Structures are given as C-alpha cells and as structure tokens.
C-alpha cells in the first residue's frame, strides 16, 4: 500500500516534469515556425543557400535563443535589415522551440574556400596572434569549430565564409554588440582585415564533428 502510494507520486512527479518540459520546447512547433518563416532565408533544414545569410543547423540552442531575443527586442545589429522583423512578436516559447529544432538538424559540412587563405587562417584559429594579444579562437569555439553548448559560444565550422567575415567586421567596428563582456569586439578589434579574411576562410572549411563527411 505504502509502496503503491510512492509509485503513484513518482509517476505524478514525472508527468509534471514532462508537461513542464513540453511547455518550454515543442519541436513540432519549432519545425512549423521554421517552415513558415525561417526557411525562406535559412533553408528547409537550417542550411542557408545564400552565403551572406547564416546556417543554423546543429547550432547550440542557447546561443540561438540569445541572438533571437536580441533581434526580437530590436537590439541586435542587422546589417541587411532582413532579420529583425522576423523575430519581433515571437514568444519565448516559440524562440526556444525553433532553436531546439534547429539544434537537432545536421550541421553544415565544410565549405569550399581558397586553400591558401584558409591555411593562413588555421594558425590564427588555433594559436591566436600572440603579438597582438589575440586569443586562440579554439579556446572558445572548440578545436573543431563546434562551439560550447551552454556557454553561448557558437559553432563556426562550416558556416558561410562571407557571413563569418561580415560578423567579425561587425564586432571590429563595434556595430555588433551582442557579445557579453566584449569577448568578440576586443578580439576582432585587434585583427587586420586580412587576418579576418583568412580566419573566416578557415572556419568555413572546418569539418564539424557532427556534420556528414563529404
């Protein structure tokens, strides 16, 4: 009898937990929103066909949520003026759901880049530029460009080169201020245009550990 009551309580607690989690993230709702709105620019499975528009497949959901809330509050640099209006009016739940659905998709594979340029970027990515006090990118974006989930450190492997370059230029010019504690503005601010160019090519060429091998 006693045991039975406990089991009943445990089941009730589990069900409550499940309901709460469901209220926060609804993958079906996320997919629907993607197909109705986001897909037009970011692709049906979160891989954009336009090089200056980012891919999000496999991107960490905490990072996507952070950016989406800034766009929604009209507080994220939007150089092409295409993104903000698509975030305004979204609820927290819709944002979390679409972010979770995007995170679930297979990340983009390595992009085709100028190999000489990427080779110059490789050492910047892994070792930084010590004489300019530029830290290793791998320290935060991971040795394979996979980022760090839970720390809002985005994955960069296989991201489009023009988008990466534009983002770094945005940080360098202080127009993009979405980085907590100026983590990126300070880093990009110390890099030359040529260094930005090279490291962007290298990041685009990286093989994300969860991407299909081409």
Q: Which residues bind ligand HEC (CB under 6 A)?
A: 33, 37-38, 40-42, 53-54, 56, 64, 66-68, 78-80, 82-83, 86, 98, 124, 134-135, 137, 139-141, 152-154, 156, 164, 166-168, 178-179, 183-184, 187, 199
CB of 92 to ligand HEC, least distance (A): 13
Which ranges constitute the DSSP H helices of 44-137? 61-72, 84-87, 92-103, 115-127
Q: Which is nearer to ligand HEC, 77 or 209 (CB)?
A: 77
Place of tokens 């297979």: 106
CB of 54 to ligand HEC, least distance (A): 4
The C-alpha atoms of residue 166 and residue 51 are separated, in whole angstroms, by: 11
Place of tokens 């698509």: 86
Q: Which is nearer to ligand HEC, 3 or 117 (CB)?
A: 117
CB of 127 to ligand HEC, least distance (A): 10
Q: Which is nearer to ligand HEC, 5 or 28 (CB)?
A: 28
The C-alpha atoms of residue 117 and residue 134 are separated, in whole angstroms, by: 19
Q: Which is nearer to ligand HEC, 19 or 116 (CB)?
A: 116
* Residue 182, number of CB atoms within 10 A of its CB: 12
**What H or E segment, with its residue span, contains residue 140?**
helix 138-141
């Amino acid at each position: 009898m006693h045991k039975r009551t406990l089991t009943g309580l445990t089941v009730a607690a589990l069900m409550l937990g499940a309901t709460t989690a469901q209220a926060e993230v609804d993958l079906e709702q996320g997919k629907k929103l993607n197909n109705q709105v986001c897909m037009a620019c970011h692709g049906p499975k979160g891989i954009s066909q336009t090089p200056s528009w980012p891919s999000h497949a496999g991107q960490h959901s905490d990072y996507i949520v952070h950016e989406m809330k800034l766009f929604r509050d009209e507080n994220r640099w939007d150089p092409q003026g295409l993104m903000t209006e698509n975030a305004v009016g979204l609820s927290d739940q819709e944002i979390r759901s679409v972010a979770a659905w995007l995170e679930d998709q297979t990340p983009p594979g390595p992009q085709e880049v100028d190999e000489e340029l990427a080779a110059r970027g490789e050492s910047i990515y892994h070792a930084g530029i010590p004489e300019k006090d530029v830290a290793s990118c791998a320290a935060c974006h991971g040795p394979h460009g996979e980022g760090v989930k839970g720390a809002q450190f985005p994955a960069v492997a296989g991201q489009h080169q023009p988008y990466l370059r534009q983002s770094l230029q945005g940080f360098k010019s202080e127009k993009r201020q979405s980085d907590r504690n100026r983590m990126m503005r300070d880093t990009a601010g110390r890099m030359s245009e040529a260094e930005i160019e090279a490291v962007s090519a290298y990041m685009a060429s990286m093989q994300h550990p969860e991407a299909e091998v081409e």
